[in-house]
Amino acid sequence: MGIRFILMVNKQGQTRLAQYYEWLTLEERRALEGEIVRKCLARNEQQCSFVEHRNYKIVYRRYASLFFLVGVDNDENELAILEFIHLLVETMDRHFGNVCELDIMLHLEKAHFMLEEMVMNGCIVETSKANILTPVQLLEKT
Amino acid sequence: MAMHGMRGLSVFISDIRNCQNKEQERQRIDKELGNVRNRFKNEKGLSPYEKKKYVWKMLYIYMLGYDVDFGHMEAVSLISAPKYPEKQVGYIVTSCLLNENHDFLRLAINTVRNDIIGRNETFQCLALTMVGNIGGREFAESLAPDVQKLLLSSSCRPLVRKKAALCLLRLYRKNPDVVNVDGWADRMAQLLDERDLGVLTSSMSLLVALVSNNHEAYWSCLPKCVKTLERLARNQDIPQEYTYYGIPSPWLQVKTMRALQYFPTIEDPYTRRTLFEVLQRILMGTDVVKNVNKNNASHAVLFEALALVMHLDAEKEMMSQCVALLGKFIAVREPNIRYLGLENMTRMLMVTDAQEIIKRHQAQIITSLKDPDISIRRRALDLLYGMCDVTNAKDIVEELLQYLSSADFTMREELSLKAAILAEKFAPDLSWYVDVILQLIDKAGDFISDDIWFRVVQFVTNNDDLQPYAAAKVKEYLEKPAVHETMVKVSAYILGEYSHLLARRPGCSPKEIFGILHEKLPTVSTTTIPILLSAYAKILMHTQPPDQELQSQIWAIFNKYESCIDAEIQQRAVEYFALCQKGAALMDILAEMPKFPERKSSLIKRAEYSEADTAEQSAIKLRAQQQPSNALVVTDQPPANGATSPVPVGPLSLAMVPSMITTEDHTSTDPALSQQNGSLTKVDPQHPSADLLGDLLGPLAIEGPPGATVQSEYNAVSRLEGGPDAVDGSAIVPVEEQRNTVQPIGNIAERFHALCLKDSGVLYEDPYIQIGIKAEWRAHHGRLVLFLGNKNTAPLVSVQALMLPPAHLKMELSLVPDTIPPRAQVQCPLEVVNLRPSRDVAVLDFSYKFGTNMVNVKLRLPAVLNKFLQPIPVPAEEFFPQWRSLSGPPLKLQEVVRGVRPMPLPEMANLLNSFRLMICPGLDPNPNNLVASTTFYSESTHAMLCLIRIETDPADRTQLRMTLASGDPTLTFEYVPKTSHEHVKFKTLVLTDFSHIPSAG
């Protein structure tokens, strides 16, 4: 199925955005996020961007104070996901102009819209930034 | 902009952000929840805008990890709002908050459908996305046709169609029937002609899901995938928007190559050549560049290309290019590449012949075991584990042992388990195995599960040569100042049983051994004390002549524990004390433990991370094995101890509790029966077929332990085993699983018969797995490799393979991992030793789980009698004296077989050849007859000459007479049946092939 969830977490470990593509109960999500944050945030720059956790593989990338963590199946192409994170960040950059944690917090709905245009049902649906942003811009006009 | 409309929301978010601690946050959230709840109560007064604002707040609160148990209805109701902003919020928040089984979703189906079939394409997109994310079975049933129509519609714009593709994927997963394979394959191929890369990207995901279940139906898509890949790799007609750092959509490239990995081979030479050109280009043309994003993207493509090359089993040259690349990767600085290099090298182990080249990188891989990054260390451990074999086991295991002392706590258990398994599987000699396990216990006692020490005890018990060595070794460890409790357990057990073997060595008198052990008693827990007490009792028994002082010392200890609060300790103390007074009886009851029945290592069973359901499932299997059987088996020894209890640790833990009360007489085996070792005269009882499984499982314990001592402490089922005939071919035929919903591909029986003639081929296949087999036979040894290939993108879990060997075969199946990774192939070597002639067939009880499907099949293995034959030419001057000297039954038997498919004599000769019988032309004066010779190998008969004559009747080719002679009555009997009721069995082994395999030979 590919992508299981996408999390954006700040360096204090607070969740800023969470999108799951499989159903987990709130307790499960809380536990999972806690474990992942503990594991990933403790890692340093010299370590690789992949962490194995339960039956997921976490592909993560850090941008300033914000971590992007993507949970994927074990057989997913890790580097493709790693660059997909960057594509997401570049897309948000194009919209917000140098996106930061606060942008995502205060415009949570837009972050969700963008993600929705990029990933559906755990699969990548669109990789053209222009196409991703069209509906978001449509929303601003209304 | 949008926030202007939702000031309340941004105020709330800022408030949350300013909270100093969790408590403040909770208070603020509780307040907000109360507020929202109140607002929702008088819903009538809420404007769509207000609703939207509150629903976003709910989502925000939910994201922070707080339960939001109201307002779902409001979120769902926004879906039917007429305006885009509200509708969008409704759709997005609904798909975040609700799961597919939520009742409210059902209420929305109609609205959703109206949006999907409506004219507003933005609404269509919203609806398709939500259904694609959380649509359940009901959605699948009511929406699939509409979604398919949109996907195929030429009037629909790409932005709708790409969503329709993934929406259909979801519906297909929820209910595979929504995609009618017959009609859909062509449309799928058509979709791949799409120029728009967005539509192509999501269509490719859809294709991957479809082909992973049924590649046969989608052959027509294969050339299209290659074309797409070529288009991307050559950057033809790719819009700028879809290139990423100059690379044409790396994601679509990866997905396309993934789809290609579901087709077993590529037959069309043109397509194959085109694909290999593209792959070659990727392999050679990927350079390391400065820009990290570009570098990652190009390597994402490269790694997928590597996987595809491995899958296609490309030419040797290309394969070695891949290994060379991986070898380079595992040594680079960049940690991501290093990690992926190791990971892919582990996958590469599945490729034939790659293992040897990978071994050259052993030193580098061992270095990675010490990498500062745990992710990389784990990959290195997996790879080392996978590449270990007899040639490098010593090096690798010793590395693992060394690493154990410094390894993270989180890895120690896995590490020690793996080291223990490798030591067991590949031990060059058993003393080394004992050394390794004792070192493991010494270094990582806390992480050593009981199974590990139980296993070493089993080995020591079953190997007489090993006993003094092990006893001396554990004594050394015990003399160390600090000893782990597990070490005390294993030492107490071994010293109790075998320390008397050391008695002549200095420092090893019973008294001294007792002293060393007893010193540990104050430091151990109540679970260990009983083992110590048993050891004392055994030491005391072995002390000849009796040592009064030692005796009174030990009796005093028993005395002391007679009032112990722990029931187990108390019972042992009381019983041992009472026994000691009895003298002679003590000798019997405390006699050396009998050999353990051969069994699969329980360690290996839990080698992979086992999930809870695995445990449950194996419990079911174990129960099945315990079902009493009324089968009769005759073995070499009268079963002294019907210890066929298959619970891995059972006998051991039980064995330490000699309970004197139930001294049942287990030697009640009928001596007449046991004398008739494999005798032919006995007609075994007819078993009701309902008990088939029991019969099959009966002879699991390969042989009863020798030495008919009264060692039957535990109340084992006094199972007199089933005679070889109990497990014969005909009995096994109907065993093929009845309850499976997963249908095998091809005919299992035909596959088996084909494999009786060939040494490699497919044993079993279904939509999820393919089991191939490759065998080599040398004299009475056979080496088989089972290839377990997972055909899916999801792993196969709870994989279990259990050998059910008949009594005449000794079989050892190596580790079968609990999980087979997606699209991976696992090779499991299986060693077979033929002990004596028998035509019983070994059965592989194989099960796995895929999704909710639990599949269990019982497969006959082609380790049949003719595999142990070696054709040998016999000249006439030797043949006839032999033939004459073997006169009449039981050495020479004759059988008329009717109902054979008529075939010309040369064809029959070919068939006999494939049975490894050497035709001796010209020996028989009658041209309608065939005479053949062969050598049969087994441990009991060694090389045994076997002569066969087949007489055919030119007037009636459907019958023939077969005469077989050998120096061993069992062999003759097993090869040729003598009475008509045996006929069926005979046919199952040999003659079915005459009649059922049209193109044999």
Q: Does B296 touch chain A (CB under 8 A)?
A: yes
Instruction: State both tokens at B799.
Output: 């994989």
Burial B235-267 (b: 16+ CB within 10 A, else e): eeebeebbbbbebbbbbbbbbbbbbbbbbeebe
Measured in angstroms, the CA of A70 and the nearest CA of chain B are apart by 15
Mean pLDDT rounded to a whole number for chain B: 79
Other CB atoms within 10 Å distance of the CB of residue B549? 9
pLDDT score, position B607: 58
For residue range B642-698, list pLDDT tens digits in order. 333 333 333 333 333 333 333 333 333 333 333 333 333 333 333 333 333 333 333
Which chain B positions have a beta carbon within 8 Å of A42's beta carbon? none
3-class secondary structure, B250: helix
Binding-site positions of B read 7-8, 49, 53-57
Report the candidate in B620, B655, B615, B565 with the shortest Cα–Cα distance to residue B739.
B620
Measured in angstroms, the CA of A29 and the nearest CA of chain B are apart by 8
Query: Is B131 a residue whose pLDDT tops 70?
Result: yes
Which chain B positions have a beta carbon within 8 Å of A138's beta carbon? 84, 122
Contact B205 A2 (CB under 8 A): yes
Whether A140 is in a domain gets the answer: no
φ, ψ at B823 (rounded to 5°): 55, 20
Give mean pLDDT, residues B214-242: 94
**Contact present, B304 and B286 (Cβ < 8 Å):** no
Q: Determine the residue of chain A that is closest to B100 in CA distance.
A: A23
B977: pLDDT confidence band, cut at 50, 70 and 90?
very low
Q: Does A2 touch chain B (CB under 8 A)?
A: yes
3-class secondary structure, A58: strand
Judge if pTM exceeds 0.80.
no
Q: Which residue in this structure is represented by tokens 């509200």?
A: B86
The CATH number covering residue A90 comes to 3.30.450.60
**Contact present, B714 and B654 (Cβ < 8 Å):** yes
Which chain B positions have a beta carbon within 8 Å of A52's beta carbon? 375, 378
Burial A48-70 (b: 16+ CB within 10 A, else e): bbbbeeeebbbbbbbbeebbbbb
Pick out chain A residues at pLDDT < 70: 1, 142
Between A20, A73, A126, which is nearest B162 by CB?
A126
In angstroms, the CA B308 to CA B304 distance is 6
Which residues are registered as beta bridge partners of B762? B772
More confident residue, B305 or B702: B305
Q: Check if the interface score ipTM surpasses 0.90.
A: yes
Give mean pLDDT, residues B124-142: 93
B43: pLDDT confidence band, cut at 50, 70 and 90?
low
More confident residue, B775 or A20: A20
CB pairs under 8 A between A and B: 178
Contact A79 B340 (CB under 8 A): yes
Between B3, B250, B336, which is nearest A48 by CB?
B336
Between A21, A75, A105, which is nearest B133 by CB?
A21
Contacts of B853 (CB under 8 A, 6+ apart): B741, B742, B768
Q: Which residue in this structure is represented by tokens 């009032």?
A: B563
B354: pLDDT confidence band, cut at 50, 70 and 90?
confident
Between B56, B67, B373, which is nearest A48 by CB?
B373
Q: Does B372 touch chain A (CB under 8 A)?
A: yes
Burial B768-785 (b: 16+ CB within 10 A, else e): bbbbbbbbebebbebebe
Q: Determine the residue of chain A that is closest to B65 in CA distance.
A: A30
**Contact present, B454 and B489 (Cβ < 8 Å):** no
Between B60, B335, B795, which is nearest A46 by CB?
B335
Give mean pLDDT, residues B491-517: 92
Between A43, A79, A123, which is nearest B166 by CB?
A123
> What percentage of chain A's residues is helix, strand, coil (to nearest 5)?
45, 25, 30
Using DSSP bridges, classify how beta strands A66-72 and B929-938 pair: parallel, antiparallel or unpaired: unpaired
Which chain B positions have a beta carbon within 8 Å of A110's beta carbon? 2
pLDDT score, position B608: 45
B161: pLDDT confidence band, cut at 50, 70 and 90?
very high
Which chain A positions have a beta carbon within 8 Å of B242's beta carbon? 127-128
pLDDT score, position B574: 92
Other CB atoms within 10 Å distance of the CB of residue B356? 10
Contact A82 B99 (CB under 8 A): no
pLDDT score, position B807: 82
Q: Which domain holds residue A107?
A: 3-135
**Contact present, B915 and B906 (Cβ < 8 Å):** no
Q: Does A130 touch chain B (CB under 8 A)?
A: yes
For residue range B804-838, list pLDDT tens digits in order. 888 888 888 887 888 887 777 788 888 888 888 88
Contact B250 A113 (CB under 8 A): no
Distance of CA B301 to the CA centre of its chain: 30
In angstroms, the CA B693 to CA B671 distance is 27
Between A87, A123, A139, which is nearest B169 by CB?
A123
Contact B241 A131 (CB under 8 A): yes
Q: Does A31 touch chain B (CB under 8 A)?
A: no
Residue of A126, A129, A140 best to disrupt the B interface, most CBs of B under 10 A:
A126
Measured in angstroms, the CA of A45 and the nearest CA of chain B are apart by 9
Q: Does B556 touch chain A (CB under 8 A)?
A: no
Whether A34 is in a domain gets the answer: yes
φ, ψ at B651 (rounded to 5°): -55, -35
Between B84, B293, B795, which is nearest A86 by CB?
B293
Contact B241 A2 (CB under 8 A): no
Chain A contacts in chain B segment 647-686 (CB below 8 A): none
3-class secondary structure, B804: strand
**Contact present, B215 and B263 (Cβ < 8 Å):** yes
Give mean pLDDT, residues B506-535: 92
Split into its structural domains, chain A has a count of: 1
Contact A139 B254 (CB under 8 A): no
Q: Does A23 touch chain B (CB under 8 A)?
A: yes
pLDDT score, position B976: 55
B364: pLDDT confidence band, cut at 50, 70 and 90?
very high
Contact B242 A2 (CB under 8 A): no
Contact B821 A75 (CB under 8 A): yes
Between B85, B821, B823, which is nearest A139 by CB?
B85
Q: Does A140 touch chain B (CB under 8 A)?
A: yes
φ, ψ at B599 (rounded to 5°): -155, 165
For residue range A56-85, list pLDDT tens digits in order. 999 999 999 999 999 999 889 999 999 999
Contact B166 A125 (CB under 8 A): yes
Report the candidate in B876, B844, B875 with the shortest Cα–Cα distance to residue B860.
B844
B599: pLDDT confidence band, cut at 50, 70 and 90?
low
Q: Does A103 touch chain B (CB under 8 A)?
A: no
Which chain B positions have a beta carbon within 8 Å of A26's beta carbon? 62, 65, 67
Residue of B251, B306, B332, B337 best to disrupt the A interface, most CBs of A under 10 A:
B251
Which chain A positions have a beta carbon within 8 Å of B166's beta carbon? 120-121, 123, 125
Alpha-carbon dihedral sign for residues A63, A67, A70, A74: positive
pLDDT score, position B585: 67
Angle at B638 between CA B637 and CA B640, to 5 degrees: 110
The CA radius of gyration of chain B, in Å to the nearest whole number, is 35
The CA radius of gyration of chain A, in Å to the nearest whole number, is 15
Contact B823 A75 (CB under 8 A): yes
Whether A141 is in a domain gets the answer: no
